[in-house]
């Protein structure tokens, strides 16, 4: 692999993946989400004339994706780059806390053979579940919070959005700045 980082993937699970597959690279989506050319440059160092059945890339997607025409922009860029670089899609493992991403991926894979599809690993565990050392000193002063605010991004059905929207009835709406309901599709 080109570069290791604190991926948020459980080290035991990452070890299991490493034993089963030849991990070519592991990349955080935040490294290229604002400039897809960075992903192209990174992948060009590992492209092979012929990929083995055990070759895999892991892209860790723990950040919110922004939606346009029903698909996440970052996810769509990943697919376009894989196509542009002629990398088989079976080499892609998407490790995400975005529950429901598999449905989006299946829509983007409609033209692909069943054996040439990415693997999606959805998990609740991500780096935000832990308190890294650099966040330990950053304790917010709750007395300074004067207004509640919420934003539910529209574009794709997500169970947490509907659960949050349902829970809004319990919030003191006199102190709520803004609420945006996700579009139902």
Same domain (yes/no): 83, 158:
no
Euclidean distance between CA atoms 71 and 83, whole angstroms: 17
Q: Which of 6-20, 23-37, 151-165 has the lowest mean pLDDT?
A: 151-165
Same domain (yes/no): 118, 151:
no
Same domain (yes/no): 100, 56:
yes
What pLDDT digit, counting tens, does each position of 89-139 carry?
999 999 988 877 888 888 888 899 989 999 998 876 655 554 455 445 556
Q: Considering the chain, what is the average pLDDT of its residues? A: 77
Euclidean distance between CA atoms 72 and 156, whole angstroms: 9
Selected residue with higher pLDDT from 37 and 34: 37
**How many other C-beta atoms are found inside a 10 Å radius of the C-beta of residue 144?**
6
Same domain (yes/no): 78, 113:
yes
Domain span including residue 166: 140-175
Tell whether the model's pLDDT for residue 2 goes beyond 70.
Answer: no
Euclidean distance between CA atoms 144 and 142, whole angstroms: 5
Tell whether the model's pLDDT for residue 53 goes beyond 90.
Answer: yes
pLDDT at 3: 43
pLDDT at 72: 82
- Residues linked to residue 95 through DSSP beta bridges, in sequence order: 60, 121
> How is residue 148 annotated by DSSP?
B
Name the CA dihedral angle for 78, 2, 62, 75, rounded to a multiple of 10 degrees.
0
pLDDT at 134: 47
Same domain (yes/no): 33, 115:
yes
Tell whether the model's pLDDT for residue 168 goes beyond 70.
Answer: no
Q: Is 7 within 8 Å of 25 (Cβ atoms)?
A: no
Q: Is 47 within 8 Å of 81 (Cβ atoms)?
A: no
């Amino acid at each position: 692999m080109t570069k290791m980082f604190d991926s948020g993937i459980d080290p035991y699970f990452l070890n299991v993946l490493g034993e089963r597959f030849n991990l070519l690279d592991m990349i955080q989506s935040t490294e290229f989400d604002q400039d897809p050319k960075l992903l192209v440059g990174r992948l060009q160092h590992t492209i092979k004339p012929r990929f083995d059945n055990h070759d895999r890339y892991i892209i860790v997607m723990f950040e919110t994706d922004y939606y346009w025409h029903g698909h996440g922009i970052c996810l769509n860029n990943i697919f376009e780059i894989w196509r542009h670089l002629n990398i088989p899609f079976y080499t892609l493992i998407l490790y995400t806390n975005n529950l429901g991403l598999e449905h989006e991926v299946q829509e983007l894979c409609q033209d692909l053979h069943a054996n040439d599809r990415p693997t999606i690993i959805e998990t609740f565990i991500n780096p935000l579940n832990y308190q890294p050392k650099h966040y330990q000193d950053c304790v917010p002063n709750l007395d300074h919070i004067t207004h509640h605010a919420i934003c539910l991004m529209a574009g794709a059905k997500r169970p947490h959005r509907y659960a949050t929207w349902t829970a809004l009835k319990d919030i003191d709406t006199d102190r709520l700045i803004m609420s945006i309901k996700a579009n139902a599709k």
